[in-house]
Amino acid sequence: LRRSPRSETAVMVVTVAIVVVTHNLALGVAGGVVLAAVFFARRVAHVSDMTSVIDPDDGRTRIYHVTGELFFASTNELLHLFDYAEDIDRAVIDLSDAHIWDTSAVADLDAVVAKFAAQDIDATIMGLNVGSAELHGRMSGHLATSH
C-alpha cells in the first residue's frame, strides 16, 4: 500500500468500507468508480497548456497555442493565462492541439473572447477539430458565463 498512489489506495479503502457498511458489493464498486472518476478528472484538469508568441509579420497580433483536453475542470485555470491588458490589436487562439469536451469549455472560451472584446482586441478561435467545431458552433453564444 505504501508504494501505491494515494488516489488508488483511497479508492480501494472507500470501496471496501462501503461494502462492509452496506453489505452490498454493487454499491461499493459504484462508490469506487465515482471516486476514481473524480481523481481522474482532477489529474487531467492540469494537462492543458498554453504558449503564446507575437506574430512576427505584424507585431500587433498575439497567437495563443492551447494544447490538451478542455472541459469543466481545466478551462477555469486556462482563463487566467491570457493577457487581456496587452497592447495588441488581435488575439488568435489556436486550438489545433486541443479538444473541447463540454459546454462549460465553450462558455469559458466565449468568456475569453468577450474579455478581449472589452479591451477592443479582436479575438479569433481557430484550429478546432471536427468534434470541437461542432460543439462550439452549436453552443457558442448561447451559454451564460460567470467570468
Give residue 2's pLDDT band: very low, low, confident or very high (50, 70, 90).
Answer: low
Rg (CA), the chain: 20
Query: Looking at the domain assignment, is residue 73 inside a domain?
Result: yes
Give residue 142's pLDDT band: very low, low, confident or very high (50, 70, 90).
Answer: low
Cα–Cα distances (Å) from 103 to 11, 53, 92, in that order, read 29, 28, 21
Q: In this predicted model, what pLDDT tens digit does every residue of 72-101 receive, in sequence order?
A: 877 778 888 899 999 999 999 999 999 998
Query: Looking at the domain assignment, is residue 95 inside a domain?
Result: yes
- The amino acid at residue 2 is R
* Burial class of residue 56 in the structure, from the number of CB atoms within 10 Å of its CB (0-12 exposed, 13-18 middle, 19+ buried): exposed
Q: Do residues 113 and 79 touch, judged by C-beta distance below 8 A?
A: no
Same domain, yes or no: 81 and 127: yes
Same domain, yes or no: 32 and 15: yes
Query: How much is the pLDDT for 82?
Result: 94
Same domain, yes or no: 53 and 86: yes
Query: How much is the pLDDT for 47?
Result: 55
Q: What is the model's pTM?
A: 0.70
Same domain, yes or no: 56 and 24: no
Same domain, yes or no: 15 and 33: yes
Query: How much is the pLDDT for 146?
Result: 47
Give residue 112's pLDDT band: very low, low, confident or very high (50, 70, 90).
Answer: very high
Query: How many domains is the chain built from?
Result: 2
Which structural domain range is residue 117 located in?
A: 49-139
Same domain, yes or no: 71 and 97: yes
Same domain, yes or no: 25 and 85: no
Question: Computed from CA positions of residues 91, 99, 129, 66, in that sequence, does the dihedral angle turn out positive or negative?
Answer: positive
Query: Looking at the domain assignment, is residue 13 inside a domain?
Result: yes
Question: Computed from CA positions of residues 87, 113, 40, 44, in that sequence, does the dihedral angle turn out positive or negative?
Answer: negative
Query: Looking at the domain assignment, is residue 1 inside a domain?
Result: no
Same domain, yes or no: 21 and 84: no
